[in-house]
Amino acid sequence: MIKAVIFDIDNTLTDFMRMKHAEVDAAVEAMIDAGLKVDKDAMVKKIFDVYWKEGVEDQKIFDKVLQKEFGRIDYKILASGILGYRRAKDGTMTLYPHVTMTLIELM
């Protein structure tokens, strides 16, 4: 008899990297809307370059990239990026096909 099943969510139940790309795209668009003067694709690439070096779950990624690129952090732009990221995260977290049925079967 199975009493427990343990697993993580990222790339087990959801496509984590698809979600991460959508979140970063939305964050950069929000920062541009707040006044950041950058090329969107170039900024997304810079963010992912830092992710690959320092870890894809880095909670201070936007702070680091803004500081590196502009020598300071504009908190209006930072806040806009964080809000854009979180909104996209809420909208893109979807399960892989058949996950729901599998979870129901495990109950």
Beta bridge partners of 95: 14
For the cut 90, the answer to whether the pLDDT of residue 12 exceeds it is: no
Backbone angles phi, psi at 18, to 5 degrees: -65, -40
R_g of the chain computed on alpha carbons: 17
Q: What is the pLDDT of residues 73-93, one digit of tens each?
A: 999 999 999 999 999 988 888
Residues in the chain: 107
Architecture per CATH, domain 16-92, reads as Orthogonal Bundle (1.10)
Count the neighbouring beta carbons within 10 Å of the beta carbon of residue 73: 14
pLDDT tens, residue by residue, 35-70 = 999 999 999 999 999 999 999 889 999 999 999 999
